[in-house]
Structure 1
Amino acid sequence: MIKIVIRRDFKSDIVEFNVKGHAGFAEHGQDIVCAAVSVLTQTALIGIHEYAKVESKYQISDGNLKCKIPFNISDDKRNIINPILETMVLGLKNIKEEYSSYIKIKEEEV
């Protein structure tokens, strides 16, 4: 199962997301659920770094991705990354609707 944790601040802005595990929907290299989650989360990370030019801290390893947004970014940068991150969450929730046995999403306030 893929476990996703979305952490938000008091303003409801996403400040961190963590993705762990493998879906187990199909064999390694054939798993469309893992592939879809990877594409969404890694594309969001690319958008944060390449499009918004925000240097977030992140780690990617086998089946795990962790990204932490800096607290000291400008409002202009926040206005760029919020739609990227919220679209990622919408996509993840959409995948969960179809493949609920393979994905768990938890949202927390920090």
Structure 2
Amino acid sequence: MITVSISRNSKNNKIMEFEISGHAGYDEYGRDIVCSAISILAQTAVIGLLEYVRIDCTYEIKDGYLYCKLPQHCSEQEQVKIDSILETMVLGIENIKNGYGSYVSIEYKEV
């Protein structure tokens, strides 16, 4: 199962970090559409943060694991872009969970 953890700021509900771990087990390695879909959404979000918004976020990507932590202070313009990217990622992951619920778990935390 893939576990997705989204941590939000308790004051403004902004995503502060996210972590994705595990493998869906929907199909064999290299053919698992659930793992692939979640990985594409999360990695594209990180690329968007780095290349489009140009923020210095902390991240780690390896097989079956992705972690991303946002900087504590961003400009208002950066925050709008960050929110757009990350909330779209969350919508995509939630949509995949709706179709493949036994392969994806999402937990929300307040920090």
Which of the five TM-score ranges fits, normalised by the shorter chain? over 0.9
The alignment yields a C-alpha RMSD, in angstroms, of 0.5
Structure 1, unaligned stretches of length 5 or more? none
SS in 1 for 2:5: strand
Q: Could you tell me how far apart the structure 2 residues matched to 1:73 and 1:29 are?
A: 37
Are residue 79 (structure 1) and residue 80 (structure 2) matched? yes
Cα distance in 1 for residues equivalent to 2:18 and 2:75: 20
Report the alpha carbon displacement of residue 51 of structure 1 after superposing the two structures with TM. Answer: 0.5
Q: Distance in 1 between matches of 2:46 and 2:39?
A: 10
TM-score (norm 1): 0.98
Structure 1 position 54, deviation (Å)? 0.7
1:47 partner SS? helix
Identity fraction in percent: 49
Within-5 A mapping of 1:45-60: 45-60=46-61
Matched AA of 2:37: A
AA at the equivalent of 1:3: T
Post-superposition Cα deviations, 1:13-42, rounded to whole Å, max 9, x if no partner, equal 001000000000000000000000000000
2:38 aligned with 1:37: yes
Distance 2:39 2:17 in 1: 16
Gaps of 5+ in 2: none
TM-score (ref. length: structure 2): 0.97
Which residue of the partner structure matches residue 6 of structure 2? Answer: 6
Map of 1:25 onto structure 2: 26
CA distance in 2, matches of 1:32, 1:80: 28
- CA offsets 1:37-66 (integer angstroms, 9 cap, x no match): 000000000110000011100001110000
